[in-house]
Amino acid sequence: MLDPKKKSELKDLILSTIEEVKEEIKELKELTKPIAPENAIGRVSRMDAINNKSINEAALRQTEVKLRKLETALEKVGEEFFGLCGACGQEIPVGRLMLMPESVFCVQCAERRR
């Protein structure tokens, strides 16, 4: 089980990561705005812009999923079982939680789920 000090550190980390992710979402939303047909760019440039827009839309979706997972982790960080693997019940290493605070599985179970 995580001690209260580690849980507090993780909560602070989650809060700061949420802010970073929200900024990233804001930037990605700006990059995924529709490309106006009246913009005077060439056909190849327009195709590049459409391709980039698709890539940014995929990144936006992934980032929004990460935000939801972080918000869920923030809600659960105070709970007794926070930091335990959702599959096997073993403790998720603190290092993994510090890198990916939204993790709900230990490394072994996460690899099995791929």
For the chain, domain boundaries: 4-80
Residue recorded with tokens 């929004």: 64
Q: What is the pLDDT of residues 49-96, one digit of tens each?
A: 788 889 999 999 999 999 999 999 999 999 989 999 999 999 999 999
Where is pLDDT greater, at 36 or 95? 95
- Helix axis angle, 43-76 relative to 4-31, nearest 10°? 160
Measured at the CA of 102, the angle between CA 4 and CA 55, to 5 degrees, comes to 155
Distance, in Å, from the CA atom of 38 to the CA atom of 13, rounded to the nearest integer, reads 44
Please tell me the pTM assigned to this model.
Answer: 0.84
